[in-house]
Protein backbone atom coordinates (compact mmCIF):
# COMPACT_ATOMS: atom_id res chain seq x y z
CA UNK A 1 0.00 0.00 0.00
CA UNK A 2 1.37 3.42 -1.01
CA UNK A 3 2.24 5.71 1.89
CA UNK A 4 0.77 9.19 1.64
CA UNK A 5 3.50 11.77 2.17
CA UNK A 6 2.52 14.35 4.84
CA UNK A 7 1.88 17.84 3.48
CA UNK A 8 1.90 21.33 4.94
CA UNK A 9 -1.72 22.25 5.77
CA UNK A 10 -1.00 25.87 4.91
CA UNK A 11 0.01 25.53 1.25
CA UNK A 12 -0.37 21.82 0.43
CA UNK A 13 3.31 21.27 -0.40
CA UNK A 14 4.82 17.91 0.68
CA UNK A 15 7.04 18.30 3.73
CA UNK A 16 10.78 18.04 3.05
CA UNK A 17 13.96 18.79 4.99
CA UNK A 18 16.60 19.07 2.26
CA UNK A 19 16.04 22.47 0.60
CA UNK A 20 15.41 25.47 2.87
CA UNK A 21 14.49 27.75 -0.04
CA UNK A 22 11.80 25.40 -1.40
CA UNK A 23 8.13 24.95 -0.33
CA UNK A 24 7.45 22.32 2.31
CA UNK A 25 10.74 22.76 4.18
CA UNK A 26 10.78 22.08 7.92
CA UNK A 27 13.58 21.11 10.27
CA UNK A 28 11.57 18.87 12.62
CA UNK A 29 8.71 16.45 12.11
CA UNK A 30 6.69 18.01 14.94
CA UNK A 31 6.47 21.35 13.10
CA UNK A 32 2.89 21.74 11.84
CA UNK A 33 3.69 24.28 9.09
CA UNK A 34 6.50 24.52 6.58
CA UNK A 35 8.98 27.35 7.13
CA UNK A 36 7.51 29.33 4.20
CA UNK A 37 3.98 29.30 5.63
CA UNK A 38 5.10 29.79 9.25
CA UNK A 39 7.05 32.96 8.45
CA UNK A 40 4.35 34.31 6.15
CA UNK A 41 1.56 33.63 8.66
CA UNK A 42 3.25 34.86 11.84
CA UNK A 43 5.67 37.52 10.60
CA UNK A 44 4.32 38.59 7.19
CA UNK A 45 7.69 37.52 5.78
CA UNK A 46 7.31 37.18 2.00
CA UNK A 47 10.93 36.43 1.15
CA UNK A 48 10.27 32.72 0.78
CA UNK A 49 7.12 33.20 -1.29
CA UNK A 50 8.05 32.59 -4.88
CA UNK A 51 6.27 31.76 -8.11
CA UNK A 52 5.96 28.03 -8.62
CA UNK A 53 5.52 26.19 -11.88
CA UNK A 54 1.95 25.04 -11.30
CA UNK A 55 0.62 23.62 -14.58
CA UNK A 56 -2.98 24.61 -15.25
CA UNK A 57 -3.56 21.44 -17.25
CA UNK A 58 -2.42 19.35 -14.28
CA UNK A 59 -4.76 21.17 -11.87
CA UNK A 60 -7.71 20.76 -14.27
CA UNK A 61 -6.91 17.07 -14.70
CA UNK A 62 -6.90 16.53 -10.94
CA UNK A 63 -10.15 18.48 -10.47
CA UNK A 64 -11.89 16.40 -13.16
CA UNK A 65 -11.41 13.15 -11.24
CA UNK A 66 -12.77 14.53 -7.95
CA UNK A 67 -16.46 13.77 -7.56
CA UNK A 68 -18.42 16.69 -6.20
CA UNK A 69 -19.71 20.18 -6.86
CA UNK A 70 -17.32 22.74 -8.29
CA UNK A 71 -17.49 26.10 -6.47
CA UNK A 72 -15.91 28.78 -8.65
CA UNK A 73 -14.81 32.01 -7.00
CA UNK A 74 -15.11 35.09 -9.20
CA UNK A 75 -13.22 38.08 -7.87
CA UNK A 76 -15.39 41.14 -8.58
CA UNK A 77 -12.40 43.43 -8.14
CA UNK A 78 -10.48 41.58 -10.86
CA UNK A 79 -13.29 40.01 -12.88
CA UNK A 80 -11.93 38.29 -15.99
CA UNK A 81 -14.34 36.31 -18.23
CA UNK A 82 -11.40 34.23 -19.49
CA UNK A 83 -11.71 32.16 -16.32
CA UNK A 84 -15.12 31.00 -17.55
CA UNK A 85 -13.56 30.16 -20.93
CA UNK A 86 -11.15 27.79 -19.16
CA UNK A 87 -13.97 26.15 -17.17
CA UNK A 88 -16.22 25.89 -20.22
CA UNK A 89 -13.51 24.09 -22.17
CA UNK A 90 -12.37 21.68 -19.47
CA UNK A 91 -14.98 21.31 -16.70
CA UNK A 92 -18.37 21.84 -18.37
CA UNK A 93 -19.55 18.39 -17.28
CA UNK A 94 -19.39 19.35 -13.58
CA UNK A 95 -22.16 21.05 -11.62
CA UNK A 96 -21.02 24.56 -10.76
CA UNK A 97 -21.83 27.09 -8.06
CA UNK A 98 -20.57 30.63 -8.73
CA UNK A 99 -19.41 32.66 -5.74
CA UNK A 100 -18.68 36.35 -6.32
CA UNK A 101 -16.11 37.55 -3.77
CA UNK A 102 -14.72 40.88 -2.53
CA UNK A 103 -18.01 42.72 -2.98
CA UNK A 104 -17.10 44.72 0.14
CA UNK A 105 -14.11 46.22 -1.67
CA UNK A 106 -16.29 47.77 -4.38
CA UNK A 107 -18.52 50.86 -4.22
CA UNK A 108 -22.11 50.26 -3.15
CA UNK A 109 -23.26 51.31 -6.62
CA UNK A 110 -22.56 47.72 -7.70
CA UNK A 111 -26.04 46.47 -6.86
CA UNK A 112 -27.34 42.91 -6.74
CA UNK A 113 -29.17 43.54 -10.02
CA UNK A 114 -25.92 44.62 -11.70
CA UNK A 115 -24.19 41.48 -10.46
CA UNK A 116 -27.10 39.41 -11.78
CA UNK A 117 -26.77 41.02 -15.21
CA UNK A 118 -23.03 40.38 -15.08
CA UNK A 119 -23.70 36.68 -14.43
CA UNK A 120 -26.19 36.45 -17.28
CA UNK A 121 -23.84 38.15 -19.75
CA UNK A 122 -20.91 36.00 -18.70
CA UNK A 123 -22.80 32.69 -19.04
CA UNK A 124 -24.49 33.43 -22.35
CA UNK A 125 -23.62 30.75 -24.91
CA UNK A 126 -21.62 28.60 -22.47
CA UNK A 127 -22.11 24.95 -21.57
CA UNK A 128 -21.45 25.35 -17.83
CA UNK A 129 -24.08 23.69 -15.62
CA UNK A 130 -24.53 26.50 -13.09
CA UNK A 131 -26.69 25.49 -10.10
CA UNK A 132 -26.64 28.79 -8.24
CA UNK A 133 -24.76 32.05 -7.70
CA UNK A 134 -23.91 33.88 -4.45
CA UNK A 135 -22.21 37.10 -3.43
CA UNK A 136 -19.97 36.61 -0.39
CA UNK A 137 -17.52 38.64 1.66
CA UNK A 138 -15.28 37.05 4.29
CA UNK A 139 -15.88 40.23 6.34
CA UNK A 140 -19.62 39.54 6.31
CA UNK A 141 -20.25 36.58 8.62
CA UNK A 142 -23.89 36.36 7.58
CA UNK A 143 -23.05 35.88 3.88
CA UNK A 144 -20.39 33.27 4.76
CA UNK A 145 -22.80 31.36 7.02
CA UNK A 146 -25.49 31.41 4.31
CA UNK A 147 -23.06 29.98 1.74
CA UNK A 148 -21.80 27.43 4.27
CA UNK A 149 -25.32 26.13 4.87
CA UNK A 150 -25.99 25.81 1.14
CA UNK A 151 -22.73 23.89 0.64
CA UNK A 152 -23.51 21.60 3.58
CA UNK A 153 -26.83 20.79 1.89
CA UNK A 154 -25.11 20.04 -1.43
CA UNK A 155 -24.57 16.34 -2.18
CA UNK A 156 -20.99 15.12 -2.40
CA UNK A 157 -17.69 16.84 -1.80
CA UNK A 158 -16.90 20.48 -2.58
CA UNK A 159 -14.10 21.70 -4.86
CA UNK A 160 -13.10 25.37 -4.49
CA UNK A 161 -11.48 26.87 -7.61
CA UNK A 162 -10.74 30.30 -9.07
CA UNK A 163 -8.07 32.57 -10.44
CA UNK A 164 -4.95 33.44 -8.45
CA UNK A 165 -5.68 35.85 -5.60
CA UNK A 166 -9.46 35.34 -5.86
CA UNK A 167 -9.61 34.69 -2.11
CA UNK A 168 -10.03 30.90 -2.09
CA UNK A 169 -7.94 30.26 1.01
CA UNK A 170 -9.53 33.18 2.87
CA UNK A 171 -13.02 31.88 2.10
CA UNK A 172 -12.15 28.31 3.10
CA UNK A 173 -10.73 29.58 6.39
CA UNK A 174 -14.02 31.44 6.94
CA UNK A 175 -16.18 28.44 5.96
CA UNK A 176 -14.23 26.07 8.21
CA UNK A 177 -13.89 28.69 10.97
CA UNK A 178 -10.15 28.22 11.11
CA UNK A 179 -6.92 29.87 10.00
CA UNK A 180 -5.41 26.68 8.62
CA UNK A 181 -4.66 27.86 5.08
CA UNK A 182 -1.94 30.38 4.32
CA UNK A 183 -3.21 33.67 2.89
CA UNK A 184 -1.11 36.12 0.85
CA UNK A 185 -1.60 38.81 -1.81
CA UNK A 186 1.10 37.07 -3.86
CA UNK A 187 0.16 34.46 -6.43
CA UNK A 188 0.54 30.70 -5.88
CA UNK A 189 0.30 30.65 -2.09
CA UNK A 190 -1.59 27.35 -2.47
CA UNK A 191 0.74 24.91 -4.21
CA UNK A 192 -1.28 21.69 -4.39
CA UNK A 193 -4.84 20.38 -4.10
CA UNK A 194 -5.58 19.42 -0.52
CA UNK A 195 -8.65 18.00 1.19
CA UNK A 196 -10.07 19.57 4.35
CA UNK A 197 -12.79 18.00 6.56
CA UNK A 198 -16.05 19.88 6.14
CA UNK A 199 -19.23 18.83 7.96
CA UNK A 200 -18.96 15.13 7.14
CA UNK A 201 -17.58 15.65 3.64
CA UNK A 202 -14.38 16.91 2.07
CA UNK A 203 -13.68 20.42 0.85
CA UNK A 204 -10.83 20.70 -1.66
CA UNK A 205 -8.63 23.78 -1.90
CA UNK A 206 -6.93 24.14 -5.30
CA UNK A 207 -4.07 26.24 -6.71
CA UNK A 208 -5.29 29.38 -8.46
CA UNK A 209 -5.85 29.30 -12.20
CA UNK A 210 -3.35 31.47 -13.99
CA UNK A 211 -4.89 33.30 -16.94
CA UNK A 212 -3.33 36.78 -16.87
CA UNK A 213 -2.33 38.75 -13.77
CA UNK A 214 -0.02 41.77 -13.69
CA UNK A 215 0.81 41.12 -10.02
CA UNK A 216 2.73 38.01 -11.08
CA UNK A 217 5.15 40.20 -13.01
CA UNK A 218 6.01 42.21 -9.91
CA UNK A 219 8.13 41.53 -6.87
CA UNK A 220 6.37 40.29 -3.75
CA UNK A 221 6.63 43.75 -2.18
CA UNK A 222 5.26 45.49 -5.30
CA UNK A 223 2.43 42.98 -5.60
CA UNK A 224 1.38 43.77 -2.03
CA UNK A 225 1.46 47.48 -2.89
CA UNK A 226 -0.77 47.25 -5.97
CA UNK A 227 -3.14 44.52 -4.77
CA UNK A 228 -6.58 45.82 -3.76
CA UNK A 229 -7.11 44.75 -0.15
CA UNK A 230 -9.16 47.68 1.21
CA UNK A 231 -12.41 49.23 -0.03
CA UNK A 232 -11.83 51.14 -3.26
CA UNK A 233 -12.04 54.91 -3.24
CA UNK A 234 -12.61 55.72 -6.92
CA UNK A 235 -11.28 58.99 -8.28
CA UNK A 236 -13.19 60.64 -11.15
CA UNK A 237 -11.63 63.11 -13.57
CA UNK A 238 -13.45 65.24 -16.14
CA UNK A 239 -11.40 65.45 -19.33
CA UNK A 240 -11.42 67.07 -22.75
CA UNK A 241 -8.86 66.50 -25.45
CA UNK A 242 -5.80 64.40 -24.63
CA UNK A 243 -4.89 63.32 -21.10
CA UNK A 244 -2.46 60.70 -19.76
CA UNK A 245 -2.98 58.81 -16.52
CA UNK A 246 0.20 57.33 -15.00
CA UNK A 247 -0.36 54.57 -12.43
CA UNK A 248 2.68 54.36 -10.17
CA UNK A 249 5.59 52.94 -12.14
CA UNK A 250 3.40 50.29 -13.74
CA UNK A 251 1.50 51.85 -16.65
CA UNK A 252 0.56 55.00 -18.53
CA UNK A 253 -2.80 55.34 -20.30
CA UNK A 254 -3.15 58.04 -22.96
CA UNK A 255 -6.77 58.95 -23.61
CA UNK A 256 -8.13 61.30 -26.29
CA UNK A 257 -11.69 62.45 -25.62
CA UNK A 258 -13.72 63.87 -28.52
CA UNK A 259 -16.13 65.62 -26.16
CA UNK A 260 -16.43 66.38 -22.47
CA UNK A 261 -15.99 62.94 -20.86
CA UNK A 262 -15.01 61.30 -17.58
CA UNK A 263 -12.43 58.79 -16.41
CA UNK A 264 -12.88 57.03 -13.06
CA UNK A 265 -9.85 55.21 -11.68
CA UNK A 266 -10.33 52.13 -9.48
CA UNK A 267 -6.96 51.11 -7.99
CA UNK A 268 -5.41 50.58 -4.57
CA UNK A 269 -4.86 53.63 -2.37
CA UNK A 270 -1.18 52.64 -2.41
CA UNK A 271 -1.01 53.16 -6.18
CA UNK A 272 -0.08 56.78 -7.04
CA UNK A 273 -2.12 58.38 -9.85
CA UNK A 274 -0.57 61.19 -11.87
CA UNK A 275 -2.63 63.04 -14.47
CA UNK A 276 -0.75 64.84 -17.22
CA UNK A 277 -1.53 66.76 -20.40
CA UNK A 278 0.87 67.68 -23.22
CA UNK A 279 3.94 67.20 -21.00
CA UNK A 280 3.20 63.54 -20.22
CA UNK A 281 6.25 62.25 -22.13
CA UNK A 282 8.56 64.58 -20.22
CA UNK A 283 7.06 63.49 -16.90
CA UNK A 284 7.44 59.80 -17.79
CA UNK A 285 11.03 60.34 -18.92
CA UNK A 286 11.91 61.97 -15.59
CA UNK A 287 9.79 60.04 -13.09
CA UNK A 288 9.05 56.67 -14.74
CA UNK A 289 12.05 56.10 -17.05
CA UNK A 290 11.40 52.35 -17.22
CA UNK A 291 8.36 53.11 -19.39
CA UNK A 292 10.22 55.45 -21.77
CA UNK A 293 11.18 52.81 -24.33
CA UNK A 294 8.13 50.57 -23.88
CA UNK A 295 5.98 50.48 -27.07
CA UNK A 296 2.52 52.01 -26.81
CA UNK A 297 -0.44 49.68 -27.50
CA UNK A 298 -3.59 51.21 -29.00
CA UNK A 299 -6.84 49.71 -27.71
CA UNK A 300 -9.82 49.31 -30.07
CA UNK A 301 -12.51 51.23 -28.19
CA UNK A 302 -14.44 52.13 -31.38
CA UNK A 303 -15.75 55.21 -29.58
CA UNK A 304 -18.01 53.07 -27.37
CA UNK A 305 -19.33 54.70 -24.20
CA UNK A 306 -19.19 52.80 -20.91
CA UNK A 307 -16.00 50.74 -21.18
CA UNK A 308 -13.47 49.61 -18.58
CA UNK A 309 -9.76 49.45 -19.36
CA UNK A 310 -8.66 46.62 -17.06
CA UNK A 311 -5.14 45.96 -15.80
CA UNK A 312 -5.45 42.38 -14.61
CA UNK A 313 -4.97 42.09 -10.86
CA UNK A 314 -4.44 45.83 -10.35
CA UNK A 315 -7.74 47.55 -11.16
CA UNK A 316 -9.35 49.48 -13.98
CA UNK A 317 -10.21 52.83 -15.53
CA UNK A 318 -13.88 53.37 -16.41
CA UNK A 319 -14.46 55.56 -19.48
CA UNK A 320 -17.73 57.42 -19.87
CA UNK A 321 -18.28 59.68 -22.88
CA UNK A 322 -16.86 59.83 -26.39
CA UNK A 323 -13.26 58.84 -27.11
CA UNK A 324 -11.14 59.00 -30.23
CA UNK A 325 -8.37 56.76 -28.93
CA UNK A 326 -7.08 54.95 -25.86
CA UNK A 327 -3.49 53.72 -25.73
CA UNK A 328 -1.53 52.05 -22.96
CA UNK A 329 2.18 51.84 -22.18
CA UNK A 330 2.90 48.81 -20.01
CA UNK A 331 5.61 46.14 -19.83
CA UNK A 332 3.24 43.34 -20.88
CA UNK A 333 0.33 44.39 -23.17
CA UNK A 334 -1.51 41.14 -22.38
CA UNK A 335 -2.09 42.46 -18.85
CA UNK A 336 -4.61 44.93 -20.33
CA UNK A 337 -8.09 44.18 -21.65
CA UNK A 338 -11.40 45.93 -22.37
CA UNK A 339 -14.81 45.02 -21.00
CA UNK A 340 -18.26 46.56 -20.73
CA UNK A 341 -18.34 48.92 -17.74
CA UNK A 342 -18.79 47.02 -14.48
CA UNK A 343 -20.19 50.07 -12.65
Mean pLDDT of the chain: 82
pLDDT at 5: 64
227: in domain: no
- 72 vs 180: which has the higher pLDDT: 72
State whether 148 and 182 are in the same domain.
yes
Which residue did the predictor score with more confidence, 32 or 256? Answer: 256
Tell me the range of 13-17, 243-247, 258-262 where mean pLDDT is highest.
243-247
Percent of the chain exceeding pLDDT 90 equals 31
Residues 295 and 197 in one domain: no
With helix as H, strand as E and coil as C, how does the chain read? CCCCCCECCCCCCECECCCCCCCCECCCCCCCCCHHHHHHHHHCCCCCCCCCCCCHHHHHHHHHCCCEEEEEEEECCCCCCHHHHHHHHHCCCCEEEEEEECHHHCCCCCCHHHHHHHHHHHHCCCCCEEEEEEEECCCCHHHHHHHHHHHHHCCCEEEEEEECCCCHHHHHHHHCCCCCCCCCCCCCCCCCCEEEEECCEEEEECCCECCCCHHHHCCHHHHHHHCCCCCCCCEEEEEEEEEEEEECCCEEEEEEEEEEEEEEEEECCCCCEEEECCCHHHHHHHHCHHHCCCCEEEECCCCCCCEEEEECCCEEEEEECCEEEEEEEECCHHHEEEEECCC
Please state the rounded mean pLDDT for residues 267-278.
Answer: 94
248/19: higher pLDDT: 248
Q: Is residue 33 part of a domain?
A: no
**Banded model confidence at residue 48, pLDDT cuts 50, 70, 90:** very low
pLDDT at 46: 45
Confidence of residue 43 (pLDDT cuts 50, 70, 90): low
Answer yes or no: do 134 and 279 share one domain.
no
Q: Flag whether pLDDT at 181 surpasses 60.
A: no
Average pLDDT over residues 127-139: 87
Whether residue 252 sits in one domain with residue 307: yes
pLDDT of res. 183:
45
Q: Is the per-residue pLDDT at 211 higher than 90?
A: no
Residue 19 is assigned to a structural domain of this protein: no
Whether residue 239 is found in the same domain as residue 327: yes
Which tens digit of pLDDT belongs to each residue from 185-205? 444 455 577 888 888 899 888
Residue 111 has pLDDT above 80, yes or no: yes
Q: Percentage of the chain with pLDDT > 70?
A: 85
**Are 139 and 198 members of one domain?**
yes
Within this chain, do residues 56 and 191 fall inside the same structural domain, yes or no?
yes
In a domain, 284, yes or no: yes
pLDDT for 182 equals: 45
Q: Examine the domain organization and report whether 151 and 265 are in the same domain.
A: no
Whether residues 62 and 96 fall in one domain: yes
Q: What is the pLDDT of residues 55-67, one digit of tens each?
A: 667 778 888 888 9
pLDDT > 70? residue 41: no
For residue 279, the enclosing domain spans 235-340
Q: What's the pLDDT score for residue 40?
A: 64
Q: Residue 185: what pLDDT?
A: 44
Does 115 share its domain with 73?
yes
Mean pLDDT along residues 171-187: 64
133 and 265, same domain (yes or no): no
Would 121 be classed as within a structural domain? yes
Same domain, 55 and 117: yes
pLDDT in tens, 161-173: 887 777 787 888 8
CATH number of the domain residue 169 falls in: 3.40.50.300
Residue 195 lies in a domain: yes
Q: Quote the number of domains for the chain.
A: 2
Q: What is the mean predicted confidence (pLDDT) over 312-328?
A: 91
131 assigned to some structural domain: yes
Residue 9 domain-assigned?
no
Q: Please report the pLDDT score of residue 180 as a whole number.
A: 55
Provide the pLDDT for residue 191. Answer: 55
Amino acid sequence: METVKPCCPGCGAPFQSSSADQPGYRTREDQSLCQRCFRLKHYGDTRLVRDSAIELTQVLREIRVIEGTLVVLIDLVNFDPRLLDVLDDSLHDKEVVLVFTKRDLLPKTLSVSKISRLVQRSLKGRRLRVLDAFTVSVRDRESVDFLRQRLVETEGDIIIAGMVNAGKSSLINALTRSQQLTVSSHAHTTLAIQAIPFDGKRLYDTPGFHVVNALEGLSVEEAARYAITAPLKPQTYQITGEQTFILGDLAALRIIATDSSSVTVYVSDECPIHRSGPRAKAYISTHVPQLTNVPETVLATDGVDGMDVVIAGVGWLSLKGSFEAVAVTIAQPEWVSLRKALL
